[in-house]
């Protein structure tokens, strides 16, 4: 080996040593707790929600989000000018309760998540005990804010993607805009509203997807376009 | 015999009839032709109908039919409302699904920050 070759060899082998060490992966539980609690300041964001129905064109809605610690306001802007916006103001769930539900249903794994809305993220995969991937969450490394969430079918195809496309954090938010009225009935996933009831069956929809809550022998049962954690949360709130 | 021959034969027969007809009959026919009034125009006929007794009858019948149709159309709704009031409420529509569907727009399905 000539001196030149030796120098090149040493230079190449020393490259990994000079590389910046990777940030250690955080604990999945701690990340989820931070995400469920939300940022400690107010923020404003624009979210795009995409739904992928089999054999149909993808559909999307644009949601304006404003939030203060513990409370979130979501305003779905209609695609047609004539339609009225859908506004939902909701309190955040207590983070430990949400984490215990997710842990009961899924195995959580953390990996690096790339950049979403110009922010570095961690990615958490939520796999059913059978191994099937049900959800993937992207969380802001600094604030813990949930930046992106994807939901998958049993066959692995994408059902739904919610992604922040613009974010101002921190941002001044008027507390008066987050006033909420006491709501009755079980919890509903974001964007869903009560659309009607037929006997012991109550129906909910977001315009594309729907689910039903039925009372069978005094016990509530839920079925429809829902991930397991959403279905579980609905049943918990329905039984209260 | 062709058609031309038949026409000529008919014309000759008419002439012979006119020649053989009595003068009194001819004079009577001429008088009737002179005294005959021209046929009333379609407009005069309509105005005449509008001023007649039957016009009122037709108008009344039309009004009665219109009122009858309105009553018949209103009756099923009233019947449904009565039945719904009797039985317990089973189906309550709060949000029109079309309104919710209007929130959604076609999308390219891309995963990016564009909106």
**ipTM computed for the complex:** 0.82
Six-digit token pair at A199?
């006997």
Task: Select the residue from B103, B112, B113 to test the A interface by mutation, using most A Cβ atoms within 10 A.
Answer: B103
A198 contacts on B by Cβ (under 8 Å): 90-91
Per DSSP, which regions of A35-105 are E strands? 43-51, 59-68, 71-77, 86-91
Q: Is the pLDDT of residue A146 over 90?
A: yes
DSSP code of residue A26: P
- A193/B108 CB distance under 8 A: no
- A51/B94 CB distance under 8 A: no
Helix (H), strand (E) at residue A12 = helix A3-18
B111 CA to chain A: closest CA distance, Å? 8
User: What is the C-alpha separation between A41 and A169, in angstroms, rounded?
Assistant: 7
B101 contacts on A by Cβ (under 8 Å): 207-208
Strand duo A119-128 + B105-106: pairing: unpaired
What integer pLDDT is reported at residue A182 of this predicted model? Answer: 66
Query: B52: Cβ–Cβ under 8 A, 6 or more apart, which residues?
Result: none
Model confidence band, residue A1 (pLDDT cutoffs 50, 70, 90) = low
User: What is the C-alpha separation between A124 and A28, in angstroms, rounded?
Assistant: 7
Query: A160: Cβ–Cβ under 8 A, 6 or more apart, which residues?
Result: A49, A50, A51, A52, A149, A150, A151
* DSSP sequence for A95-122: HHHHHHHHHHHEEEEEEEEEEETTEEEE
What integer pLDDT is reported at residue B88 of this predicted model? Answer: 45
CA distances from A146 to A38, A68, A163, A191 (A): 8, 14, 9, 17
Mean pLDDT of B93-99: 58
Cis omega (within 30 of 0) for bond into A231? no
Model confidence band, residue A135 (pLDDT cutoffs 50, 70, 90) = very high
What integer pLDDT is reported at residue A143 of this predicted model? Answer: 93
Residue pair A193/B100 in contact (Cβ under 8 Å)? The answer is: yes
Tokens 């007649």 found at: B52
A114 interfacial to chain B (CB closer than 8 Å): no
Q: Which residue of A has its CA nearest to B94?
A: A195
What integer pLDDT is reported at residue A77 of this predicted model? Answer: 84
Average pLDDT along chain A: 90
User: What is the C-alpha separation between A48 and A83, in angstroms, rounded?
Assistant: 18
B99 contacts on A by Cβ (under 8 Å): 83-84, 207
Whole-model pTM: value is: 0.68
CA distances from A120 to A20, A144, B106 (A): 16, 11, 29
Using CB atoms and an 8 Å cut-off, which of residues 34-93 of chain B contact chain A? 90-93
Specify the higher pLDDT residue, B98 or B12.
Answer: B12
Kindly tell me the burial class for residue A38, based on how many C-beta atoms sit within 10 Å of its own C-beta (0-12, 13-18, 19 or more).
Answer: buried
A193, A196, A208 member nearest B91 (Cβ): A196
B75 CA to chain A: closest CA distance, Å? 26
- A165/B114 CB distance under 8 A: yes
Q: Is the pLDDT of residue B22 over 90?
A: no
A81 interfacial to chain B (CB closer than 8 Å): no
Q: Which residue of A has its CA nearest to B112?
A: A165
- B99/A83 CB distance under 8 A: yes
Q: B47-81 in b/e burial notation, b at 16+ Cβ within 10 A?
A: eeeeeeeeeeeeeeeeeeeeeeeeeeeeeeeeeee
A163 contacts on B by Cβ (under 8 Å): 111, 113
- A58/B106 CB distance under 8 A: yes
């Amino acid at each position: 080996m000539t001196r030149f070759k030796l120098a090149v060899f040493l230079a190449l082998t020393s490259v990994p040593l000079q590389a910046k060490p990777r940030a250690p992966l955080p604990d999945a539980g701690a990340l989820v707790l931070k995400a469920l609690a939300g940022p400690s300041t107010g923020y404003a964001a624009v979210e795009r929600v995409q739904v992928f129905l089999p054999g149909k064109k993808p559909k999307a809605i644009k949601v304006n989000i404003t939030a203060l610690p513990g409370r979130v306001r979501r305003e779905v802007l209609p695609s047609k000018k004539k339609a009225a916006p859908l506004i939902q103001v909701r309190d955040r769930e207590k983070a430990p309760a949400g984490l215990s539900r997710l842990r009961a249903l899924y195995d959580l794994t953390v990996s690096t998540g790339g950049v979403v809305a110009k922010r570095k993220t961690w990615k958490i995969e939520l796999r059913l005990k059978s191994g099937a991937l049900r959800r993937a969450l992207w969380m802001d490394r600094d604030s813990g804010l949930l930046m992106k969430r994807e939901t998958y079918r049993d066959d692995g195809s994408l059902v739904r993607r919610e992604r922040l496309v613009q974010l101002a954090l921190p941002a001044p938010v008027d507390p008066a805009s987050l006033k909420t009225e006491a709501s009755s009935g079980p919890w509903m996933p974001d964007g869903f509203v009560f659309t009607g009831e037929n006997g012991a069956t109550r129906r909910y929809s977001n315009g594309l997807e729907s689910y039903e809550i039925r009372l069978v022998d005094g016990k509530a049962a839920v079925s429809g376009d829902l991930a397991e954690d959403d279905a579980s949360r609905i049943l918990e709130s329905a039984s209260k | 015999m062709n058609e031309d021959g038949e026409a000529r034969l008919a014309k000759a027969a008419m002439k012979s009839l006119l020649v053989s007809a009595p003068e009194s009959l001819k004079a009577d026919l001429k008088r009737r032709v002179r005294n005959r009034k021209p046929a009333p125009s379609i407009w005069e006929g309509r105005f005449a109908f509008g001023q007649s007794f039957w016009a009122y009858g037709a108008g009344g019948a039309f009004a009665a039919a219109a009122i009858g149709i309105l009553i018949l159309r209103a009756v099923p709704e009233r019947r449904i409302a009565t039945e719904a009031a009797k039985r317990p409420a089973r189906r309550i529509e709060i949000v029109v699904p079309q309104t919710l569907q209007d929130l959604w727009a076609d999308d390219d399905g891309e995963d990016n920050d564009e909106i």
